[in-house]
Structure 1
Amino acid sequence: MKILVDLHTHTMASGHAYSTLSENAAAAARKGLRLLGMTDHGPSMPGAPNLYYFGNFSILPQTLSGVRILPGVEANITSHEGELDIPLRYLKQMSIVLVGLHVICYPGGNSEQNTQAYLKAMSNPYIDIMVHPGRPDFEMDLEKIAYTSAQLRIPVEINNSSLGQEKGGAWGNCSYFARNAAKYGGPVVLGSDAHFWDRVGVFNLALEITEEAGIKEEQILNYSPDRILDYLTQRREQRSLIDM
Structure 2
Amino acid sequence: MEILVDLHTHTITSGHAYSTITENALAASRRGLKLLGMTDHGPSMPGAPHLYHFGNLSIIPKEISGVKILPGVEANIVNHEGELDIPFSYLAQMKLVLVGLHVICYPGGTSEQNTQAYIKAMVNPYTDMMVHPGRPDFQLDLERIAYKSAQLNIPVEVNNSSLSTIKGKDGARVNCRCFASYMAKYKSPVILGSDAHFWDRVGEFSDALDLIHEAGISEHQILNTSPERVLDYLAIRRKQRLSTAKVPLSIA
TM-score range, shorter chain: over 0.9
Q: Is the contact made by 2:125 and 2:245 (CA closer than 8 Å) also made in structure 1?
A: no
**Partner SS for 1:43:** coil
Provide the aligned C-alpha RMSD in A.
0.9
**Partner SS for 1:40:** strand
Partner of 1:209: 211
Tell me how far 1:243 sits from its aligned partner.
6.0
Partner of 1:67: 67
Tell me how far 1:168 sits from its aligned partner.
3.0
Matched, 1:118 2:115: no
Partner of 1:237: 239
Tell me how far 1:23 sits from its aligned partner.
0.1
C-alpha distance after superposition, 1:103-142 (max 9, x if no partner): 0000011111100000000000101000000000001000
Give, in whole Å, the separation in 1 of the partners of 2:230 and 2:207.
21
Match of 2:194 among 192, 196, 206: 192
Give, in whole Å, the separation in 2 of the partners of 1:243 and 1:80.
20
Matched, 1:54 2:29: no
What does 1:84-233 correspond to in 2, within 5 Å?
84-165=84-165, 166=167, 167-233=169-235
Tell me how far 1:40 sits from its aligned partner.
0.1
Q: Is the contact made by 2:111 and 2:140 (CA closer than 8 Å) also made in structure 1?
A: yes
Tell me how far 1:10 sits from its aligned partner.
0.1
Amino acid at match of 1:147: Y
**Partner SS for 1:158:** strand
Partner of 1:77: 77
Amino acid at match of 2:177: S
Percent identity between the two aligned chains: 72
Structure 1 unaligned blocks of 5 or more: none
Ranges of 4+ aligned residues in structure 1 off by more than 4 Å:
none
**Partner SS for 2:115:** helix
Partner of 2:27: 27
Partner of 2:11: 11
Give, in whole Å, the separation in 2 of the partners of 1:85 and 1:168.
29
C-alpha distance after superposition, 1:157-187 (max 9, x if no partner): 0000000121231001001000000000010
Give, in whole Å, the separation in 2 of the partners of 1:178 and 1:12.
31
TM-score scaled to structure 1, two decimals?
0.99
Partner of 1:42: 42
Q: Is the contact made by 2:126 and 2:245 (CA closer than 8 Å) also made in structure 1?
A: no
**Partner SS for 1:235:** helix
Give, in whole Å, the separation in 2 of the partners of 1:148 and 1:243.
18
**Partner SS for 2:150:** helix
Partner of 2:250: none
C-alpha distance after superposition, 1:67-95 (max 9, x if no partner): 00000000000000000000000000110
Amino acid at match of 1:100: G
Structure 2 unaligned blocks of 5 or more: 247-252
Q: Is the contact made by 2:159 and 2:195 (CA closer than 8 Å) also made in structure 1?
A: yes
**Partner SS for 1:70:** strand
Amino acid at match of 1:7: L
**Partner SS for 1:169:** helix
Tell me how far 1:241 sits from its aligned partner.
2.6
Give, in whole Å, the separation in 1 of the partners of 2:66 and 2:144.
39
Amino acid at match of 1:217: E
Give, in whole Å, the separation in 2 of the partners of 1:13 and 1:186.
32
Pairs aligned (count): 244
Give, in whole Å, the separation in 1 of the partners of 2:79 and 2:245.
25
**Partner SS for 1:140:** coil
